[in-house]
Chains A and B, each alone.
Chain A
Amino acid sequence: MSTTIGTAARAADLGPDVREGVRDLILMLADSKRLLGMRYGNWILGAPELEAGIACASMAQDEWGHARLLYALLKDFGDDVDRLEHGREPDDYRCMDALDREPGSWPELIAVNTFVDLALTVQLEALAQSTYLPLRQRVQKLIEEETFHAAHGTAWLRRIGRAGREAQQVMREAVAAVVPRALRWFGPDSRYAHVLQEASIVDAVGSGLRARFIERAAPLLRELGGIDVAELEPDFTGFDESTRRTPGTAPDARTIAQVRGDRNRAFLMD
Chain B
Amino acid sequence: MIYEVFARKTRGEPLRHIGNLNAPDDELGKVYAFNTYDEEKWFDMFVVPRDRFIEVFNRLDAAETGERAAVLAERAAGERAPVNE
Q: Is chain B found bound to chain A in the same assembly? A: yes
**A51 & B25 in contact (Cβ 8 Å cutoff):** no
Chain B residue with minimal CB distance to A148?
B34
Q: Kindly provide the distance from the CB of B64 to the nearest chain A CB, expressed in whole angstroms.
A: 38
**A50 & B82 in contact (Cβ 8 Å cutoff):** yes
Scoring B residues 7 to 39 as 1 if CB is less than 8 Å from chain A, else 0, what string do you get? 000000000000001111101101110111010
Chain A residue with minimal CB distance to B38?
A58
Which residues of chain B are near A152, meaning CB under 8 Å? 28, 31, 35
Scoring A residues 72 to 109 as 1 if CB is less than 8 Å from chain B, else 0, what string do you get? 00000000000000000000000000000000000000
Q: B73 in the interface, Cβ–Cβ < 8 Å? A: no
Which residues of chain B are near A159, meaning CB under 8 Å? 24-25, 28
Which residues of chain A are near B27, meaning CB under 8 Å? 151, 154-155, 158
Which residues of chain B are near A221, meaning CB under 8 Å? none
**B30 & A51 in contact (Cβ 8 Å cutoff):** no
Q: Kindly provide the distance from the CB of B44 to the nearest chain A CB, expressed in whole angstroms.
A: 15
Q: A49 in the interface, Cβ–Cβ < 8 Å? A: yes
Q: Kindly provide the distance from the CB of A208 to the nearest chain B CB, expressed in whole angstroms.
A: 29
Q: A54 in the interface, Cβ–Cβ < 8 Å? A: yes
**B35 & A58 in contact (Cβ 8 Å cutoff):** yes
Which residues of chain B are near A49, meaning CB under 8 Å? 22, 83
Scoring B residues 39 to 53 as 1 if CB is less than 8 Å from chain A, else 0, what string do you get? 000000000000000
Complex alpha-carbon distance, A155 and B30, angstroms: 10
Chain A 182-202 interface residues, beta-carbon cutoff 8 Å to B: none
Which residues of chain B are near A151, meaning CB under 8 Å? 27, 30-31
Complex alpha-carbon distance, A58 and B34, angstroms: 9
The interface of chain A, by Cβ under 8 A from chain B, is 49-52, 54-55, 57-59, 148, 151-152, 154-156, 158-159
The interface of chain B, by Cβ under 8 A from chain A, is 21-25, 27-28, 30-32, 34-36, 38, 82-83
| Sample of 30 A–B contacts (CB below 8 Å) | A49-B22, A49-B83, A50-B22, A50-B82, A50-B83, A51-B21, A51-B22, A51-B23, A51-B28, A51-B32, A51-B35, A51-B36, A54-B32, A55-B32, A58-B34, A58-B35, A58-B36, A58-B38, A59-B35, A148-B34, A148-B35, A151-B27, A151-B31, A152-B28, A154-B27, A155-B25, A155-B27, A155-B28, A158-B27, A159-B25
Given contacts A54-B32, A148-B31, A152-B28, 14 further A-B contacts (CB under 8 A): A49-B83, A50-B22, A50-B83, A51-B21, A51-B32, A51-B36, A52-B32, A54-B35, A55-B31, A55-B35, A151-B27, A151-B31, A152-B35, A155-B28
Q: Kindly provide the distance from the CB of B22 to the nearest chain A CB, expressed in whole angstroms.
A: 6
Which residues of chain A are near B34, meaning CB under 8 Å? 58, 148
Which residues of chain B are near A58, meaning CB under 8 Å? 34-36, 38
Complex alpha-carbon distance, A148 and B45, angstroms: 14
Q: Kindly provide the distance from the CB of B7 to the nearest chain A CB, expressed in whole angstroms.
A: 15
Complex alpha-carbon distance, A152 and B29, angstroms: 10
Chain B residue with minimal CB distance to A56?
B35
Which residues of chain B are near A59, meaning CB under 8 Å? 35
Complex alpha-carbon distance, A57 and B35, angstroms: 8
Q: Kindly provide the distance from the CB of A220 to the nearest chain B CB, expressed in whole angstroms.
A: 13
B23, B28, B34, B35: most-surrounded residue (chain A CB, <10 A)? B35
Which residues of chain A are near B38, meaning CB under 8 Å? 58
